[in-house]
């Protein structure tokens, strides 16, 4: 994805870029083929994400199998402990296919936990399908996620965005399910959920993208599954920021993550595995990109534009049509409104 922001970020991180080369960036170039680390799925993915040279972003640390189906949302299964754990669920429209991938990857084992990074439709849309297939599974999430799940408005938004994604990415006319969302175990900062053997998940609260955003430190491998509060890597040197709730919370979350010792592997939401040499740069890149977006929005505000005017400028500046491969425009617009409001609320 080439946005002005991305271009600027690329210039900023020249040191890192010496080590990298963007292979697939936007339409017009041949789609890249990605093999999943697990046997569960093996599909050709057309994507706007850019790769680091010699690095396979779906080559997950030992025990993690990518069970994602379809576009737009990821689902990662951990089978390295005595108990199994799914990190996010992916989209609703392909929920049944995700269940098939999951069943195959579990290979007869039970699904013990679903860890919910936050309550957005692209992360938990497939939850109702997975819960139906594995009714014993325990959902782990933030206290605020539990609150969101009790909101009828949140459910309606999930339905609207899930349906937009269905229409964009599939030929299906099946209504998307939005029933049965729940949190069985509320988890907060520092809580550890034992997966048996020497495996456990430590919860790291990282608000900013939403109030309910949490990240996961999976041990003993030192695998950090970052939340969207600290960005989505698009390509080497290019970070997408989606600060929907609080700019200062997001920056604090990134600073907190940067200080965690023992992160040996980093997984960026939607993107996959970040190369080891890039882990320290990841948090810095996010903070720079976040400040740049904030400045852009405030510039428009200072020119005297009202909310609608700023939104129009924002869409001109940040939306590119190829982005629809990863996110329906409806969801982009929904997010854009929140991003602008969050900045104006804090700084205008
Ligand atoms: Zn989100």
Q: pLDDT of 109-158, one tens digit each?
A: 999 999 999 999 999 999 999 999 999 999 999 999 999 999 999 999 99
Three-state DSSP class for residue 238: strand
- Residues 45-81 have pLDDT tens digits of 346 799 999 999 999 999 999 999 998 899 999 999 9
Residue 123 alpha carbon to ligand 1 centre in Å: 7
In the structure, what pLDDT confidence band is assigned to residue 191 with cuts at 50, 70 and 90? very high
Report CA(334)–ligand 1 centroid distance (Å). 11
Each residue of 208-221: pLDDT tens digit? 999 999 999 999 99
**Ligand 1 mean position to 191 CA, how many Å?**
22
The stretch 305-316 carries a mean pLDDT of 96
Mean pLDDT of 87-96: 98
More confident residue, 331 or 198: 198
Predicted model pTM: 0.85
Greater model confidence, 151 or 5? 151
What is residue 246's three-state secondary structure? coil
Q: What is residue 199's predicted lDDT score, i.e. its pLDDT?
A: 98
Query: Which listed CATH number (3.40.50.1000, 3.40.50.261, 3.90.550.10, 3.60.15.10) goes with 4-347?
Result: 3.60.15.10
Ligand 1 centroid to residue 158 C-alpha, Å: 11
Counting other chains too, the contacts that 259-266 makes at CB distance below 8 Å and 24 or more residues apart are 260/204, 260/217, 260/224, 262/217, 262/222, 263/217, 263/222, 263/223, 263/224, 264/221, 264/222, 264/223, 265/61, 265/221, 265/222, 265/223, 265/224, 266/223, 266/224, 266/226
Distance of CA 228 from the midpoint of ligand 1 (Å):
6
Distance 227 CA to ligand 1 centre (A): 8
**Rounded distance from Cα 80 to ligand 1 centre (Å):** 27
What is the domain partition of the chain in residue ranges? 4-347
**57 C-alpha to ligand 1 centroid (Å):** 20
Ligand 1 centre distance from Cα of residue 205 (Å): 15
pLDDT at 11: 33
Considering the chain, what is the average pLDDT of its residues? 87
Distance, CA 145 to ligand 1 centroid (Å)? 12
């Amino acid at each position: 994805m080439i946005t002005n922001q991305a271009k600027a970020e690329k210039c900023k991180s020249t040191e890192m870029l010496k080590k990298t080369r963007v292979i697939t960036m936007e339409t017009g170039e041949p789609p890249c083929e990605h093999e999943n680390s697990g046997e569960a799925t093996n599909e050709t993915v057309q994507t706007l994400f850019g790769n680091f040279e010699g690095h396979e972003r779906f080559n997950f640390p030992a025990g993690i199998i990518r069970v994602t189906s379809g576009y737009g949302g990821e689902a990662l299964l951990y089978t390295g402990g005595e108990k199994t754990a799914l990190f996010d669920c992916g989209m609703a429209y392909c929920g049944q296919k995700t269940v098939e991938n999951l069943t195959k990857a579990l290979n007869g084992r039970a699904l013990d936990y679903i860890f919910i990074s936050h309550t957005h439709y692209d992360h938990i849309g497939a939850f109702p399908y997975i819960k139906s297939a594995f009714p014993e599974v325990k959902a782990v999430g933030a206290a605020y996620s539990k609150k969101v799940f009790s909101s009828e408005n949140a459910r309606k938004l999930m339905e609207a965005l899930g349906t937009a994604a269905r229409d964009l990415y599939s030929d299906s006319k099946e209504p998307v399910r939005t029933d049965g969302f729940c949190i069985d175990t509320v988890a907060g900062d520092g809580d550890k959920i034992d997966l048996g053997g020497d495996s456990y998940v430590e919860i790291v609260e990282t608000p900013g993208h939403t109030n309910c955003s949490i990240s996961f430190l999976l041990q003993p491998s030192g695998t950090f599954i970052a939340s969207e509060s600290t960005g989505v890597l698009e390509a080497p040197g290019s970070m997408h920021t989606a600060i929907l709730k609080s700019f200062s919370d997001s920056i604090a979350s990134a600073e907190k993550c940067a200080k965690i010792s023992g992160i040996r592997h980093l997984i960026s939401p939607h993107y996959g595995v970040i190369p080891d040499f890039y882990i320290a740069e990841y948090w810095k890149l996010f903070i720079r990109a976040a400040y740049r977006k904030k400045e852009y929005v405030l510039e428009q505000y200072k020119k005297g534009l009202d909310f609608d005017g700023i939104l129009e400028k924002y869409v001109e500046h940040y939306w590119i049509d190829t982005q629809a491969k990863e996110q329906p425009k409806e969801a982009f617009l929904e997010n854009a409104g929140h991003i602008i409001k969050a900045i104006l609320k804090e700084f205008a």
